[in-house]
Amino acid sequence: MTRYKAVFAYDGSGFVGYQVQPNGRTVQEEIEKALKKMHKGDFSRITASGRTDTGVHAVGQVIHFDSPLNIEPEKFRIALQMGTPRDISFHSVEKVADDFHARFDVTGKEYRYMIDRSKIFNPFKRNFALHFPYQLNVEKMKSAAKLLIGEHDFTSFCSARAVQESKVRTIYQIEITEVDETTLMIAYRGSGFLYNMVRILTGVLLDVGQNKLGEPDILRAFEARNRESLRSKTAPPEGLYLQEVFYK
Amino acid sequence: MTRYKAVFAYDGSGFVGYQVQPNGRTVQEEIEKALKKMHKGDFSRITASGRTDTGVHAVGQVIHFDSPLNIEPEKFRIALQMGTPRDISFHSVEKVADDFHARFDVTGKEYRYMIDRSKIFNPFKRNFALHFPYQLNVEKMKSAAKLLIGEHDFTSFCSARAVQESKVRTIYQIEITEVDETTLMIAYRGSGFLYNMVRILTGVLLDVGQNKLGEPDILRAFEARNRESLRSKTAPPEGLYLQEVFYK
């Protein structure tokens, strides 16, 4: 058996998320279907760095899987590219050590959140960015983002449904960039992110940019350790991208 | 009755084209449905600058229609925006003279064709650009484009199904721009365009960029007045945008 690592992108708008589910089309199922075909039915599972929700995109999702086939990696990439639908695209396939694990070996991740500030709704971006035509004080957002960086208990900044026992995570960097006149990008790099954490952080930063929340509210929320302590809405999935997964 | 002119964009990927058809969802039908609701059922037709095919997009399509409602144009725009699905978006509504005609008064149009030259397929662009990962000599394309500019009989450069009697049209400008490392844009401005003409011209320019066609072939095709005289493929619809419609 050879262990392979693959990096791929997907447009999340046509999926009910990454992970196989009884109802609806998923990314995992499409990739496993392609691998099953390549292995004449004899293929079981792929393991990803983590899940993404319905409508959430990936630029650099990572999986590993084992295969009895010993194929040149670029040929394997092309076979996966051909075998999967056009809303999934494989960047690279490589052979890795037998003990490489796409989830357990993750040392960090980068997520990006795209915001379309056009006054008039852009139909070409409807699945790819949050439309947010309101005033935003970007400087205030940048300042508040600094409070979020570092090691914190993010209980107030994740879904109450987050299953992990420890809610302590480290954010290495939050970059807020005005990509062009109408596009704001918030890039988050961290050791790991809890369920809905990036979308909640984005909702908080948007509230700060609209003067609905101030830095003291963020400090209080860290103390409170309770999602209810912040009224900020969870930003919708269409603006969110799993940009990159980091390994040792 | 007041005559209104409206400018709007649409993502063509979810439509079987602009014009109402027995089978499939169309842009015209969605807008007429919205207007019918606003007029309590008493509304008949809108008139567009022209049709677009299945999968073709518009950034600045134009319609006119008559309404007994005398509404402030920006309010009318918002009502149309709210009444139509998210793949249509209204830029502007204005009151115009009773004899303004969205089709007959057109003095020119701009179409754009987007080409994604990324080596690896980009799933986010699959409905919005032609994926073309092959070598292209852009300088040769620019040079050949100059031959197409001016008044010509474009019989060889339109679908055999083009219904207009005269195939003489004037192209004012063809601009080929490397928007970024992987995106090539071809913008065509002209007095008017025949059926499939922009997609066929794009196919010809791509063949020139690949050294499959030379400038003499283009000159011969002008002479031949026959679509069969050129083997170039019609570029697919997903790269095409009706960018702007010009009036006096």
- Residues of B classed as catalytic: 53
Pick from B88, B124, B126: CB nearest A128: B124
CA distance linking residue B81 with residue B95, whole number of Å: 17
DSSP structure string for A44-113: ---EES----TT-EEEEEEEEEEES----HHHHHHHHHHHS-TTEEEEEEEEE-TT--TTTTEEEEEEEE
Dist CA B128 CA B240 (whole Å): 8
B contacts of A11 (beta carbons < 8 Å) = 123-124, 126
Pairing of strands B57-67, B150-153: unpaired
- Contact with chain A for residue B10, Cβ under 8 A: yes
Q: pLDDT tens digits for A18-37?
A: 999 999 999 999 999 999 99
Beta bridge partners of A170: A151
The 10 Å CB-count burial string (b at 16+, else e) for A172-183 is eebebeeeeebb
Instruction: State whether residue A89 sits within 8 Å of chain B by CB.
Output: yes
CB A60 within 8 A of CB A48: no
Q: What is the pLDDT of residue B136?
A: 97
Q: Are B3 and B95 in contact (CB under 8 A)?
A: yes
Nearest CB to B9 within list A9, A89, A123: A123
A107-247 maps to which CATH number?
3.30.70.660
| Nearest residue of B to residue A84, measured between CA atoms | B123
Are B123 and A81 within 8 A, CB to CB?
A: no
CB A231 within 8 A of CB A156: no
ipTM of model:
0.94
Beta strands A88-96 and A57-67, pairing class: unpaired
User: In chain A, which stretches have pLDDT less than 70?
Assistant: none
Query: How far does chain B reach from its first CA to its final CA, in angstroms?
Result: 23
CA torsion sign for A48, A49, A54, A58 is negative
Q: Is A187 within 8 Å of A112 (Cβ atoms)?
A: yes
- Give the C-alpha distances (Å, rounded to integers) separating A91 from A13, A244, B111: 19, 12, 32
Contact A91 B120 (CB under 8 A): yes
- Per residue in B145-192, pLDDT (tens digit) is 999 999 999 999 999 888 888 999 999 999 999 999 999 999 999 999
> Which of B124, B130, B238 to mutate: most A Cβ within 10 Å?
B124
pLDDT of residue B84: 98
Top residue of A77, A89, A122 to mutate, by most chain B CBs within 10 Å, is A89
The token pair at B187 is 């913008």
- Please state, for a pLDDT cut of 90, what percent of chain B lies above it: 96
Q: How far is B98 from chain A (nearest CA, A)?
A: 27
As a whole number of angstroms, the distance between CA A38 and CA A22 comes to 24
The rounded distance, in Å, linking the Cα atoms of B36 and B38 is: 5
Confidence of residue B44 (pLDDT cuts 50, 70, 90): confident
Is pLDDT above 90 for B94? yes
Give φ, ψ of B147 to 5 degrees: -65, -25
| Residue range B4-42, pLDDT digits in tens | 999 999 999 999 999 999 999 999 999 999 999 999 998
Nearest chain A alpha carbon to B131: A86
Spans of all domains in chain A: 2-96, 107-247
Q: Give the CATH number of domain A2-96; options: 1.10.10.10, 3.30.70.580, 3.60.21.10, 3.40.50.1950.
A: 3.30.70.580
Min Cα distance B229 → chain A (Å) is 33
Alpha helices by DSSP H, B84-190:
138-148
| Whole-number average pLDDT of chain B | 96
